[in-house]
Amino acid sequence: MQNIAMLIAIDNSNQFRFLKSVHKRKANKNDILKGINKLINIYKARNIQIKQINADNEFECVRENLRPSILNTVAAEEHVGVIERAIRTNKDDTRCHIHRLPYTHYPIAMVEGAQRHSIHRRNNLPSINGVSKELSPETLNTGLPPPDYNEIIKLNFGDYVQTYEGETSNTGKARNIGAIALFFSPSGHGSWYFMSLPTGKRIHQNSWTVLPANEDVVQRVNHLGKEQGQPPVENNFKYEWNNDNDVVYDEEVEIVDREISSNESEDEEEIVMNVGGPGVGR
């Protein structure tokens, strides 16, 4: 999306969603493995094994690295339907943010932040298609406590805040900086990730004051986006599918069909993971 490669995953059993951005235009074999292994480790921590990985041809390069999981590639030009639906949902969530915010160019931190915010909020809600109607996918897959409504309403993606940064000193240097809210931190302490307006980098803070975004804030965000080579959104982020090998691919992951293996103990589960691509979001 916006020329940034991202890996998106969804577990069809409890609708747990996962996102890993690559922070560059094109993902290579190491990038793909790093993202998939991070996802696999989340399930290993819950004693869930990856039984099979269904993927498109772009993932042939990691076949041997994924063993003992079985890699089953789909035919050329085909994609995994459920993950395409999940990506479309994430796009719709992002469009809601873009239409309500005044920025024309989005810095890299905000492009990723919009996606992470959408993924996190959907993981907060129990799914009617999941294994539990009471526990959220986040709680089921990570063990984190259920979300607190009072924490959720404190901030939204794109809010402008003044937040404290640095140590107390006797100099005349400002102690607060302007920042844009990105997404809630899973640390469990009510902190958030922000984009620092002076640097354009992501920062992690636990205290802030929400303020209206004036024209100076809007201009600074747009300037950072242009400075980083980000294209204008033109009222929306642009997406398209493309099979050109010279463009970035959005690696997609779908996890489906959770089941208890008859050959394993009842405490260990197995799932089938589907991986699809190529998809380009610009």
pLDDT reading at 232 higher than 50: yes
Is 1 domain-assigned?
Answer: no
Q: How confident is the model at residue 53 (pLDDT cuts 50, 70, 90)?
A: confident
Domain count, the chain: 1
What is residue 215's DSSP assignment? H
Q: How confident is the model at residue 215 (pLDDT cuts 50, 70, 90)?
A: very high
Is 39 domain-assigned?
Answer: yes
Amino acid at 10: I
The pLDDT of residue 221 is 97
Q: Which tokens go with 59?
A: 């993932």
Is 174 domain-assigned?
Answer: yes
Is 238 domain-assigned?
Answer: yes
Q: How confident is the model at residue 36 (pLDDT cuts 50, 70, 90)?
A: confident
Is 114 domain-assigned?
Answer: yes
Is 282 domain-assigned?
Answer: no
Of the chain, the percentage scoring pLDDT greater than 90 comes to: 23
Q: Which tokens go with 24?
A: 């560059």
Assign 3-class secondary structure to 77-127. CCCCHHHHHHHHHHHHHHHHHHHHCCCCECCHHHHHHHHHHHHHHHHCCCC
pLDDT reading at 4 higher than 80: no
Q: How confident is the model at residue 205 (pLDDT cuts 50, 70, 90)?
A: very high
Give the angle subtended at the CA of 119 by the CAs of 253 and 58, to the nearest 5°: 20
Position with higher pLDDT, 255 vs 105:
105
Position with higher pLDDT, 36 vs 227:
227
Is 103 domain-assigned?
Answer: yes
Task: Taking residues 178-200, report their average pLDDT.
Answer: 90
Do 193 and 204 meet the contact criterion of CB atoms below 8 Å apart?
yes
Task: Taking residues 130-138, report their average pLDDT.
Answer: 85
- For 114, the domain range is 6-276
Is 281 domain-assigned?
Answer: no
Task: Taking residues 232-245, report their average pLDDT.
Answer: 57
Q: Which tokens go with 35?
A: 């993202």
Distances in whole angstroms, Cα of residue 100 to Cα of each of 158, 159, 239: 9, 11, 19
> How confident is the model over 64-78, as pLDDT tens digits?
888 888 887 776 666
pLDDT reading at 277 higher than 70: no
